[in-house]
Structure 1
Amino acid sequence: MEEPGQIKRALIDASAGAISGAISRTVTSPLDVIKIRFQVQLEPTTQWALLRRDVYSPAKYTGMLQATKDIFREEGLPGFWRGNVPALLMVMPYTAIQFTVLHKLKTLASGSSKSEDHINISPYLSYASGALAGCAATVGSYPFDLLRTILASQGEPKVYPNMRSALVDILETRGIRGLYAGLTPTLVEIVPYAGLQFGTYDTFKRWTMAWNRYRSHYDTQAEDAISSFQLFLCGLAAGTCAKAVCHPLDVVKKRFQVEGLQRDPRYGLEWSNMLTEICMMPFDEFYMQKAGPVFTRALFRPL
């Protein structure tokens, strides 16, 4: 049974995570909007890709700087914060569920409710705990994620002026199931993503703590405790690794979320076929153009 102090600590961690998540979501919203615009457009972003894929209509967005200029010119500053309200509403249940489930699973795995003992569990259990916590948080907050993507992906003229109009249209045209469009590829994505994120984060923390102990052995002035900056670097590295591996699945998820809505491009019915097509894209077009905003945003949103 958990001690009251440990329960309080878990609640404080979840609250701190929700607040910091809301702040980081707001600060990085422009990068998020640019990322989503790249992910949902079908047209190639380079002239060479146009020729190779026998496509004659150039993409609306071809680079981060060009996309930033176009969004600002057509939509003004508010355009960079489209979908931020449902994103903020998503952060609270997502973070609360994720941290609560993660703490429970690590407590079961380590046999202790103390957070300092959780660092000693194996990387495999850490990966599994992160994956299961990510799945639970995704299911609990998915409708907000869907609404965020829909609002952020639309340009001018607007299809939906606000979150309420998008919600009403989805319920009227597709019912409750419409709020969970793309959930399957999302869960397929979140298992490796959350697992890698938390698994590699714990691994980097162990390596950093071992390095600090090594330094303190030879330098009496060096501290063996892990610093806030080192935690930041661990989170940055873990988030970047997870994004690099799982980005194709994130593109599939975003395209399924806008499928079937007004003024949407047609991507096809099978998410496995969509994933195959995305993975067949040239490296420079996919990772340098579509994934560019993702890795830039990772600099501002480590764990």
Structure 2
Amino acid sequence: MDKNNAHLKTFIAGGLAGMASKTAVAPLDRVKILLQAHNEHYKHNGVFSGLKDIVQREKFSGLYRGNGAQMVRVFPYAAVQFFTFEIYKKYLRDNFGNNQLFKLCAGSGAGITAVIMTYPLDLVRARLSFSVEFSSTNGTVTTGLFSSPPGLRIWTCIRNIIHNEGGLSALYRGMTPALMGIVPYSGLYFYTFEEFKIFVLKHLPHLCGTRKDDKLFLNIPSKLLCGGLAGAVSQSFSYPLDVARRRMQLSMMQPETVKYSKGVLPTLILTYKEHGIVNGLYRGMSVNYLRAIPMVAVSFSAYEIIKQSLGLDTSVNA
């Protein structure tokens, strides 16, 4: 297969896989953001009560608030992440041998590349997801970006951040914890999936594998299982930095949260002092497991299925 054609197909497969996985867990993603940043309207909710209250207050569409910006962001993010992982993995393997540690490095490098290239859209998605609009007995409660038509809210958010929060650099608020968190998260994300994939095909080939053209591939249930386990492992190590990223991203939306804009370490310390470990640094972790496991499972499964359908190799030796 032509090298450039293969790269394009890998890029497309990664982008489509990312869109599928994020859409599948969009309601849980929104609840996670509301819990992480202690939104005043949902700060006493848990996972399921939060989902219920969103539907009651903001209708069913409220579950997907911010998902439009998410889709704008996630295609290039996931496409770049999967695409560069394949490139980094091949480069490291060809130049340094098939050391398993290099898969960890390739995954971390892919995550860093994707974050840098798409971070402003992640900031916008967080702002839209944190915004609230619903009717109450005292009238319509509105916070955030609802003065603009839906189709213009992404641009309105970007313009407001640039004009009111310090210029273009404000679009990258919270990127430091994002980069710090993506190194263990993305590294483990790809590494554990690759290792689980090799393990089950080696020890359970008849249960977890399927053969095509004398090559052994993971079947769909096994792809979901390996992806889910990879998501659980990777999220566990990087979650406090994800909380810090969200708090910094949303810090300028309300006067009382500006204190979270001072940097990564001050944000982590302040979150710990005010809310502790469980309700602060790991707030929303339960919903994070609920979203991360199916999200990564769908992401890797969709990626491998799309790659196979496009004629790209996903066998255990790839």
TM-score, scaled to structure 1: 0.81
Shift of 1:178: 1.1
* 1:298 and 2:289 aligned: no
Give the fraction of aligned pairs with identical amino acids, expressed as a percent: 27
Amino acid at match of 2:163: E
Q: Within 5 Å, which residues of 2 pair with 1:104-123?
A: 104-111=87-94, 121-123=98-100
* 1:90 and 2:73 aligned: yes
Give, in whole Å, the separation in 2 of the partners of 1:130 and 1:279.
29
**Residue 52 of structure 1 corresponds to which residue in structure 2?**
none
Amino acid at match of 2:289: F
Shift of 1:177: 0.7
Regions of 4+ moved over 4 Å: 213-216, 277-284, 286-289
**Residue 145 of structure 2 corresponds to which residue in structure 1?**
160
Amino acid at match of 2:103: S
Pair 263,226 (structure 1): closer, same or farther in 2 beyond 3 Å: same
* Counterpart selection for 1:273 from 242, 259, 266: 266
Give, in whole Å, the separation in 1 of the partners of 2:256 and 2:121.
19
* 1:185 and 2:162 aligned: no
Amino acid at match of 1:124: L
How large is the RMSD of aligned CA atoms in angstroms? 2.8
Does structure 1 retain, via aligned residues, the 8 Å contact 2:162–2:168?
Answer: yes
Shift of 1:224: 5.8
Shift of 1:105: 1.1
Pair 282,255 (structure 1): closer, same or farther in 2 beyond 3 Å: closer
* Counterpart selection for 1:75 from 58, 66, 69: 58
Q: Secondary structure at the match of 1:265?
A: helix
Does structure 1 retain, via aligned residues, the 8 Å contact 2:111–2:182?
Answer: yes
Give, in whole Å, the separation in 1 of the partners of 2:154 and 2:131.
12
Does structure 1 retain, via aligned residues, the 8 Å contact 2:196–2:226?
Answer: yes
Deviations 1:113-143 (A, max 9, x none): xxxxxxx832210001110110010010111
Give, in whole Å, the separation in 2 of the partners of 1:169 and 1:90.
19
* Counterpart selection for 1:199 from 191, 203, 210: 191
Amino acid at match of 1:292: S
Does structure 2 retain, via aligned residues, the 8 Å contact 1:10–1:103?
Answer: no
TM-score, scaled to structure 2: 0.77
Give, in whole Å, the separation in 2 of the partners of 1:228 and 1:144.
31
Does structure 1 retain, via aligned residues, the 8 Å contact 2:239–2:282?
Answer: no
* 1:229 and 2:214 aligned: no
**Residue 5 of structure 2 corresponds to which residue in structure 1?**
8
Deviations 1:182-239 (A, max 9, x none): 11111001111101111111111121122135989xxxxxx96432221221111011
Pair 179,270 (structure 1): closer, same or farther in 2 beyond 3 Å: closer
